A and B are shown apart, each in its own frame.
Chain A
Amino acid sequence: MFSYQFDWSVVTSGQYFEWLVSGLKITLELSVWSIIFSFLLGLIIAVMRMSNVRPILWFSHAYLEFFRNTPLLVQIFFWYFGSYQILPKAINDWLNSVNFEFAAAVIALTIYTSAFIAEDIRSGVRSIPKEQMEAARSSGFSYLRSMRYIILPQAVRLTIPPLINQFLNVTKNSSLAMTIGVAEITYQARQVESYTFKGFESFTAATLVYLGLSLVIAGLMTLYNRRVLSPMMGGK
């Protein structure tokens, strides 16, 4: 039954090793761009979600529920296949001039992740005592300015751990970009498998890459909690 010949040299050197390395590079690029954009978008949505203006509130609520309750894969396909139908021509021309697969993956990942990040930020804001906002408002700050200068700087510090966690999710979710032909690490592992029939070795390599990323990110989280968060909470 186990007549499989192991050959680790396939993935540790030569052309296939280079494929895997380039895959890792693209996974990282995809994840970093997506987490940056989704943090910014998530911040906007979170502020809208806490607004008092009804239409803004409804919009942000619908946004959160819709994008959190549909599969990421479907969203990727929607942006990849459907963007020429729904986006203005100028944006489409620009998208085609850059790497379109990559851009579609970043758009889908950004929108999907921003919905989760917005909720993380919101719970961060809710853990800031209400008096902070009242004090800011009564000393003459507008709502947006109190958010910008008083509430968000504190809330963001509390939001960093769930944000790091989301970054981990993004690196894992970015594997779905292979379905539209973005050559990230899972795609490359699959390529190596189909060129060499060494599935065990190539999937092990990809698994180790993801585990390595998880460990590094978990390490960052511990460091952050120890250096920043616990002194902050202790000082309270």
Chain B
Amino acid sequence: MEGGLDFGVIWTNLTYFMVGRYPGGPMGGVLLTLYLAVVSLIISFFGGMILGLMCVVRNPLIRYPTVAVVNLVRGIPLLLVIFWMYFLLPFVMGRTTPESATVIAALSLFTSAYMSQIVQAGIEGIPKGQTEAALSTGLHPWHAMVFVVLPQALRNMIPSFVNQFVSMIKDTSLAFIVGVSELTQVATQVNNRTMIYPAEIFLFIAIVYFIICFAFTTLSRWLETRLAWRKAI
């Protein structure tokens, strides 16, 4: 309490917080956080699309197992998904996997499950007449989905995707648990080394996360009003 907060510790470690040992060594800090989030986002975009489509197909042999898996993943905490991956990936791959790959796999699986719900809702939100019109002009059901329904659905899903990306950025902090040196891990390292500035350090990284996430939240709100406006015309 004495003397208030002293943010000097942030300035002396600023490069470490931002990029880790990057140019000379492995990536770390904010850079690694963004790297994890972007790679997992790309994977879970496609993963969510595939799972979402599998949740709406007619074939019950595909549909019900997919729905079950999606609900299973959504029912457990991300931390447990990370532990599962940490434990299972070496078994499945037959060799040790790097920690960052474990985290990317866990984040991708977890977010794909949530993305699939967005995709499903997006597809169901397109009026049935669109599919019927596409089918009656002679398109194959898959072509009707890919060329008629999905392009319209995707546009409506964009704000939800951005929100999911914000959650993903926040979730990368859990990579800390398996020792990936992203922002939160870097902060605990600096905290363990300096000992007496925990409030300053964690407040600082909270603000860093906030700036990144808030930028995307604002983007998503802007997109939402803009897309709604376009639709109204």
Interface of A with B (CB < 8 Å)? 1-2, 4, 65-66, 68-75, 77-78, 81-86, 88-89, 172-173, 175-176, 178-179, 186, 189-190, 193, 199-200, 203, 206-207, 210-211, 214
B173-206 interface (Cβ within 8 A of A): 173-174, 176-177, 184, 187-188, 191, 198-203, 205-206
Judge whether B79 and A75 touch: CB under 8 Å.
no
Contacts across chains A and B counted by CB atoms under 8 Å:
117
- B188 surroundings in chain A (CB, below 8 A): 77
With a CB–CB cut-off of 8 A, which chain A residues contact B176? 73, 179
Q: Which one, B87, B166, B177, B203, contacts A179 given CB within 8 A?
A: B177
* 16 residue pairs from A and B, CB less than 8 Å apart: A65-B214, A66-B210, A69-B170, A69-B210, A69-B214, A81-B198, A82-B198, A82-B201, A86-B199, A172-B78, A176-B79, A193-B87, A210-B75, A210-B77, A210-B80, A211-B76
Cβ contact within 8 Å between B202 and A78: yes
Please measure, in the bound complex, the distance between the C-alpha atom of A175 and the C-alpha atom of B173, giving whole angstroms. 14
**7 extra A-B contacts, CB within 8 A, seeds A77-B184, A84-B1, A85-B200:** A65-B217, A71-B171, A71-B173, A73-B174, A86-B5, A186-B79, A189-B83
Give CA–CA (A75, B184) in the complex, Å: 11
In chain B between 158 and 177, which residues have their CB closer than 8 angstroms to a CB of chain A? 166, 170-171, 173-174, 176-177
* Residues of chain B contacted by A176 (CB below 8 angstroms): 77, 79, 174
Check B166–A69 contact: CB distance below 8 A: yes
List the 7 closest A-B pairs by CB distance, nearest first. A82-B199, A81-B198, A69-B213, A71-B173, A78-B202, A85-B199, A175-B77
**Residue of A whose beta carbon sits closest to that of B83:** A203
B213:A77 contact, CB within 8 angstroms: no
Binding site for A on B (CB under 8 A): 1, 5, 72, 75-80, 83-84, 87, 91, 94, 166, 170-171, 173-174, 176-177, 184, 187-188, 191, 198-203, 205-206, 209-210, 213-214, 217
| Residues of chain B contacted by A172 (CB below 8 angstroms) | 76-78
Which residues in B have their C-beta under 8 angstroms from that of A199?
83, 87
Give the residues in chain B near A86, CB-CB below 8 Å.
Answer: 1, 5, 199
Q: How far is the CB of A71 from chain B (nearest CB, A)?
A: 4
**Shortest distance in angstroms between A179's beta carbon and chain B's nearest beta carbon?**
7
Min C-beta distance of B10 to chain A, whole Å: 14
The A contact surface, by secondary structure, is helix
- Asked, given contacts A69-B213, A71-B209, whether A2 binds B91 with beta carbons under 8 Å apart, the answer is yes
**Inside 8 A of B91's CB, which chain A residues have their CB?**
1-2, 4
* Residue of B75, B205, B214, B217 with highest tally of chain A CB at under 10 A: B75
With CB as the reference atom, state the residue of chain B lying closest to A80.
B198
Residues of A within 8 A of B94 (CB): 1
**Which A-chain residue is minimally distant from B188 (CB atoms)?**
A77
Residues on the B chain within 8 Å of A193, using CB: 83, 87
Say whether A211 contacts B75, CB under 8 Å: yes
How far, in whole Å, are A85 and B7 apart by their CA atoms in the complex?
A: 13
Complex Cα–Cα for A81 and B75 (A) = 30
Question: Which of chain A's residues have a CB closer than 8 A to the CB of B198?
Answer: 77-78, 81-82, 85
Smallest CB separation, B1 vs chain A (Å): 6
Residue of A nearest to B4 (CB): A85
Q: Is the CB of B191 within 8 A of A81?
A: yes
Least CB distance, B120 to chain A, in whole angstroms: 17
Question: Contact at A190–B209, with CB atoms within 8 Å?
Answer: no
Complex CA distance for A150 and B226, rounded to whole angstroms: 35
A82 & B1 in contact (Cβ 8 Å cutoff):
no
Q: Please measure, in the bound complex, the distance between the C-alpha atom of A69 and the C-alpha atom of B170, giving whole angstroms.
A: 8
Interface hub of B188, B199, B200 (most chain A Cβ within 10 A): B199
